Chains A and B, each alone.
Chain A
Amino acid sequence: MTTRQAFWRGYLDCAPFILIVVPYSMLFGVVARDAGLDILQTMSMSVLVIAGASQFTALALLQDQAPVFIALFAALAVNLRMAMYSAALVPHLGHARLGTRALMAYLMVDQAFAVAVKTYEDRPEMTPDTKVAYYFGAMMLICPIWYACTLLGAILGQAIPESWSLDFAVPVCFIALTAPLLRSLSHVVAALTSCAMAIAFAWVPWSLGLFIAAIIAMIVGAQTELFIRRRKVCAP
Chain B
Amino acid sequence: MIDDTTFWLLTIALGLGTFAIRFSFLGLLGGRELPEWALLHLRYVGVAVFPALFTPLVLWPDATSGDMDPVRIIAAIAAFLVGLRGSVIGAIIAGMGTFYALTIIL
Q: Measuring CB to CB, which residues of chain A are less than 8 angstroms from any residue of chain B?
A: 19-20, 23, 35-37, 41, 44-45, 48-51, 53-55, 57-60, 62-63, 68, 71-72, 75-87, 89-91, 93-94, 98, 101-102, 104-106, 108, 165, 167-182, 186-188, 190-195, 197-199, 202, 209-210, 213-215, 217-219, 221-222, 225-226
Contacts and interface: CB of A to CB of B under 8 A. Distances in A.
20 contacts: A19-B89, A44-B11, A62-B2, A62-B7, A62-B10, A75-B14, A80-B42, A170-B54, A171-B57, A172-B79, A174-B57, A175-B76, A175-B91, A178-B46, A191-B50, A198-B51, A198-B56, A214-B48, A217-B51, A218-B41
Is chain A's binding surface mostly helix, strand, loop or mixed?
helix
Contacts of A101: 23, 26-27
Interface residues of B, number: 72
Given A37-B7, A78-B49, A225-B40, A83 B25 contact: yes
A180 B86 contact: yes
B83 A180 contact: yes
Given A45-B11, A106-B22, A179-B86, 11 more contacts: A81-B45, A83-B21, A87-B34, A174-B54, A175-B79, A187-B47, A191-B48, A195-B55, A213-B48, A213-B52, A221-B41
Interface of B: 1-2, 4, 6-15, 17-19, 21-27, 29-31, 34, 37, 39-63, 72, 75-76, 79-80, 82-89, 91-92, 95-96, 99, 103
A103 to B, nearest CB: 10
Contacts of B47: 178, 181-182, 187-188, 190-191, 194, 217, 221
A194 B91 contact: no
B43 A165 contact: no
Contact of B25 (A90, A181, A192): A90
Contact of B11 (A49, A167, A222, A225): A49
A85 B83 contact: no
Contacts of A193: 48
Is chain B's binding surface mostly helix, strand, loop or mixed?
helix
Contacts of B25: 83, 86-87, 89-90
A174 B80 CA distance: 10
B14 A76 contact: yes
Contacts of A192: 51
B26 A106 contact: no
B75 to A, nearest CB: 7
B18 A49 contact: yes
Contacts of B61: 167-168, 171
B10 A71 contact: yes
Contacts of A90: 25-26, 30-31
A89 B83 contact: no
Contact of B18 (A19, A79, A198): A79
Of the candidates B13, B39, B62, the one having the most CB atoms from chain A within 10 angstroms of its own CB is B13
Contacts of A82: 18, 21-22
